[in-house]
Amino acid sequence: MPRIVFHPDSRTAEVPRGERLLTAAWKAGVGIKSVCGGRGKCGSCLVEVDAAATAADALTPLSDAERALLPADAQGHDYRLACLCDVRGDVAIAVPPESQAVRSAPRKPYTVTRVAARPIVARVTVEMEAARMAAPSSLAERVCRGVARAAQVRKPDLPVAVMAEYSLRSGFDAAREATATLFRDRHVIQLRPGRRHGLYGVAIDVGTTSVVVFLCDLARGDIVAMRTAGNPQAIYGEDVISRMTHVQKDPAALATMRRMLVDELNRLIAETAAEGGVDPDDIVDAVAVGNPTMQHILLGLNPEPLGRGPYLPVWSDGVEVEARELGLAIVPHARVFIFPMVSGYIGGDTLAALLTRDAEFYRGNQLLVDVGTNGEVVLARDGELTATSCATGPVYEGAHIRCGVRAAPGAIERVWVEPGGRIRWSAIRAADGGGDPRPVGLCGSGVISSVAAFVAAGLLGPDGALAPPDRHPQVRAGDSGRADEVLLVAPPFSRTGRDIVLTQKDVRNVQLGKSALRAGIEILLAECGVQRLDRILLAGTFGNHLEPDDILRIGLVPPIPVERVRSIGNAAGDGARMALFNRSHRRRVATLARRLRVLELSGRADFQELFVTHTALAPEPDVALAA
């Protein structure tokens, strides 16, 4: 089988001859951007072949379609598009930073750190009666009596599958003590000879782009370890629509996507357990949240109806599924709680974010905004909850941006223009402060920051057009002579050895994402009769990194005093952990799901009108129109 080496991490994979290079990369654990879902339309899966280490015919020949998508300045580089070539022999590939799949780790991964612990699972020590010929009763009957005494429940539920597993433990029928793990006080989900004390659970946040796993100590109510990674389903496209489309075309893709996700979750669980010194046999509970598409895929439900009218989920209630059914590598009979879903686009992640809000959120008019590849917005108007969602596109994740990269060390996250006109930037540094300080590209917040800075400096008009090249030495013209891009970093100072620029097309993509979100917000406010907001809360990985000044300057959200805009961190992960730590939150989330009214935007004529109005990069559309 051909062997592929992917640099810079030198990961390797052996794949069948004829395997698509993009698929081979994900098999090797290398995430390559695939904005169009591997359909050969976007050019984002650009890689470079190491010709010195690769035979000439190791990849299928370049087609016209592939050539047309390669960068114009490809001279001297052996570029290929990973979704348009197949592997035929041993090959060495370099994945440039701008082609690495977005795997944005939340840099403020949680804000809720401790929750009053009242877990839905408990461990009790069972005193076992000795087997007696005079009063014969089965081991299971004696276990049940022991559990009833220890947990003070009348009728414990002891499934045969749990006994079957117990009966394979050495000394199982001679043990005088056993540890029973109970779910909801009476369901035995695990039985072990002897005493065990650890009580751990995992909270899982499945995003379209990245996944986060928190390993938690349920007895103490705190976090033991956390890991994040890219969602490997990105091979099927960076947004939920692409993933639905794949399932629509090939129903077998659902099982593959589910398997990929579960494998990645298991890898993260194993890593957190190793870091925390926790035996996976002590991980007895789990909670998972995600948008409806992610939750459908995790449950093995066909997500395709979510993407077409009337946009309804196949399943909407919160559900408890045995870990072994999901394939999750924790205690097999542990019940994984998956949050309810409200509509095709409002799912467990939105409800989890709401779960983190206290009484303050229900006073006055408050807006909760979660921007990702999809934008979800919840308005609380004097306690009444209404939600809507709009497709903002992957621009906020750094995709569809020429020099867009994941939010990792080397990514430019802030841009500003000094009074003298000098363009400055700051990039994310490695946690230890080391590594190459040169930047590799712009992450989502860097894109918004640069657009806001250029608007403020007059390098971008409110209509999104770049100022003429004679306005600033770093504004450069394209072939037409019109301004085409702004140079942020020249090759000697970039890690890639190439220009880092913000292009006119990037700005247009920002405008599309921005106007979709803003149009959705405006309709929501109008429908609910709200003219003035008291507070705007930004949730999600991207919301974490945005500067309130920037988003107000480009009109991403309605005008409001800047001090009234606040980030609330990775609220979905926080909500998942709350439901893991404390059983009362599972009831609360069911209530929230019933209370939340959903406003569907598709097919609304006013959406299109507002969409056009709000493409302006200004706090208020009329400001832009007057300019």
Task: Report the residue number, 63 or 113, with the smaller CB distance to ligand FES.
Answer: 63
**Which residue in 287, 299, 308 sits closest to 240, CA to CA?**
308
Distance of closest approach, residue 38 Cβ to ligand FES, in angstroms:
5
Q: Is 41 in the site for ligand FES (CB under 6 A)?
A: yes
- Check: CB of residue 385 under 8 Å from CB of residue 592: yes
Residue 265 Cβ vs ligand FES, minimum distance, rounded to whole Å:
24
Could you say whether residue 89 binds ligand FES (CB under 6 A)? no
CB of 374 to ligand FES, least distance (A): 19
Q: Provide the residue type at 406 as one letter.
A: R
Q: Which of 24, 45, 289, 387 binds ligand FES (CB under 6 A)?
A: 45
Q: Which is nearer to ligand FES, 38 or 292 (CB)?
A: 38
Beta carbon of residue 378, minimum distance to ligand FES (angstroms, whole number): 33
Give the x-and-dash track for 48-87 against ligand FES (CB under 6 A): ---------------------x-----------x-x----
String marking each residue 425-464 x if it binds ligand FES according to CB under 6 A: ----------------------------------------
Q: Is residue 43 involved in binding ligand FES (CB under 6 A)?
A: yes
- CB of 81: closest distance to ligand FES in angstroms? 5
- Closer residue to ligand FES (CB): 43 or 520: 43
Contacting residue, 44, 233, 272, 449, with ligand FES by CB under 6 A = 44
CA angle 99, 101, 103 (to 5 degrees): 140
- Nearest approach, Cβ of residue 45 and ligand FES (Å): 3
Query: How many residues of this chain bind ligand FES (CB under 6 A)?
Result: 13
Which residues, in sequence order, are CB contacts of 523 under 8 Å at separation 6+? 388, 599, 601, 604, 606, 607, 610
Query: What is the C-alpha to C-alpha distance for residues 247 and 302, in angstroms, rounded to an integer?
Result: 7
To ligand FES, the closest distance from the beta carbon of 256 in angstroms equals 17
What single string gives the DSSP state of each residue in 127-191? EPPPP-SSS---HHHHHHHHHHHHHT-SS-B--HHHHHHHTTSTTTTT-SEEEEEEETTTEEEEE
Instruction: Give the residue with the Cβ less far from ligand FES, 35 or 428.
Output: 35
Here's the x/- map for ligand FES, 361-400, by CB under 6 A: it reads as ----------------------------------------
The token duo for 440 is 């590799």
Residue 399 vs 576, nearer CB to ligand FES: 399
Q: Judged by CB, which is closer to ligand FES: 101, or 517?
A: 101
Residue 460 to residue 503: CA distance in whole angstroms: 11
Give the number of C-alpha atoms closer than 13 A to the C-alpha of residue 105, restricted to the C-beta side.
Answer: 13
Shortest spacing between CB 37 and ligand FES, in angstroms: 7
| Enclosing H/E stretch for 46 | strand 46-49
Residue 29 Cα to chain centre, angstroms:
17
CB of 35 to ligand FES, least distance (A): 6
Q: 42 or 336: whose CB is closer to ligand FES?
A: 42
To ligand FES, the closest distance from the beta carbon of 430 in angstroms equals 28
Burial of 160 (C-beta count, 10 Å sphere; 0-12/13-18/19+): exposed
> What span, in angstroms and rounded, lies between the C-alpha atoms of 420 and 64?
47
Specify the residue, 69 or 521, whose C-beta has the smaller distance to ligand FES.
69
Binders of ligand FES among residues 459 to 518 (CB under 6 A) are none
Instruction: Reduce the DSSP state of residue 48 to 3 states and report it.
Output: strand
Contact 340, 348 (CB under 8 A): yes
CB of 44 to ligand FES, least distance (A): 5
Give the nearer residue to ligand FES in terms of CB position, either 85 or 390: 85
- Rounded to a whole number of angstroms, the minimum distance from the CB of residue 39 to ligand FES is 6
Residue 242 CB, nearest distance to ligand FES (Å)? 10
Count CB atoms within 10 A of the CB of residue 468.
12
Q: Establish if 261 lies at the interface with ligand FES (CB under 6 A).
A: no
Residue closer to ligand FES (CB basis): 80 or 196: 80
Distance in Å, CB of 503 to ligand FES, minimum:
18
Asked if 38 touches ligand FES (CB under 6 A), the answer is yes
Please tell me the distance from the alpha carbon of residue 337 to that of residue 339, in angstroms, as a whole number.
Answer: 6
Q: What DSSP state is assigned to residue 304?
A: G
Q: Which CB sits closer to ligand FES, 40 or 327?
A: 40
Does residue 321 contact residue 295 with C-beta atoms inside 8 Å? no
φ and ψ at residue 300, rounded to 5 degrees: 75, 20
Q: Whose Cβ is closer to ligand FES: residue 81's or residue 578's?
A: 81
Cβ atoms 221, 117 nearer than 8 A: yes
Residue nearest to ligand FES (CB): 83
In order, the DSSP letters of 237-260 are -SSHHHHHHHHHH-THHHHHHHHH
Nearer to ligand FES (CB atom), residue 42 or residue 371: 42
Residue 449 contacts residue 550 (beta carbons within 8 Å)? yes
Question: Between 40 and 300, whose beta carbon lies closer to ligand FES?
Answer: 40
Specify the residue for token string 């992917």.
Answer: 6
In whole angstroms, what separates CA 355 from the centre of its chain?
A: 18
CA angle 457/430/274 to nearest 5° reads 140
- Euclidean distance between CA atoms 224 and 205, whole angstroms: 16
x/- track of binding to ligand FES for residues 18-37 (CB under 6 A): ----------------xxx-
Q: Where on the chain is the footprint of ligand FES (CB under 6 A)? A: 34-36, 38, 40-45, 69, 81, 83
